Structure 1
Amino acid sequence: MGQPYIRKARVQDVKAIHGLLMHTSGQGLLLPRSLNQLYSHLRDFLVLDPDDGGPLVGCCALSIAWDDIAEVRSLVVADDLRGKGWGRKLVDACLSDAVTLGIFRVFALTYQVEFFLRMGFRVVEKDVLPQKIWADCIHCPKFPDCDETAVLLEM
């Protein structure tokens, strides 16, 4: 595999992103996303491209939740690349996008709390994220008994 690089997702990437998310959700590390959700939010996604014609090896999305806050979501790095800093690079790229958009508060709902704490996020109660709860969470099959942890970074 060549040296992976981060780029904006393309419509041709949707099925590969879906495969990464389904594989990782099967491991209990995140919630799955439907193909419809991925096509609808494709512009939010960055992908980790192996640069050798092989399949994508990671992805992450930045979703604007409200006028002053965005969410990092759907962070996945292929099993064989975990622990090598690629997740951090994907999140850093999303944080950079947030700043470019004038957004300085970013949150995630996650099962990977320690990862986000190492990046400077802090654990918060979900009720500080009301726009998120009513916009997306109400459609989740786990609502209202969410087992993810809310983390927030204020830059």
Structure 2
Amino acid sequence: MRQFRAGLPIPALILGLTLVACSDPAPTGPEAPPAPAPTMLGDVDLNQPLRALGTEPFWAVEITPQDLAYTAVDAVEVRASNPGPTVQGTTAVYAAAAPDGTALVVTLIATECSDGMSDRLYPLTARVELGPETLNGCAASVAFLNSQPAP
């Protein structure tokens, strides 16, 4: 067998170079997690902050990636961890429970909605179940709501 000047047989040298060439490159540092793919309901990205709201009585549910927060006039805020939506066709459902066990279920439907008190049209219809109470209203992304004139 022919020897390379450094004393290694040529086949062993070729094998070593092949292994080095085929190995994974050295890590360059922690990679940022990829951004979540949009979860769309109609034209609304459910990964963005959303707000569902209704009138008579006035109420709102803020939906962020972290939690759902129900507020209403003369009511105690109810907050629950956001489990993420279950999307089926034109409906998305967030089913959560507050720390005290109160069920908070927000159903968003991809149908245009009017709040009945303004000329604003919302891209989603909302139904909120808070314990035994059911409320109906409208919903949109917070960005959409911030871009519209105040009702």
Structure number with the higher helix fraction is 1
Whose RCO is larger (CA < 8 A, sep 6+)?
1
- Rg: which structure is higher? 2
Normalising to structure 2: TM-score of the pair?
0.30
Normalising to structure 1: TM-score of the pair?
0.30
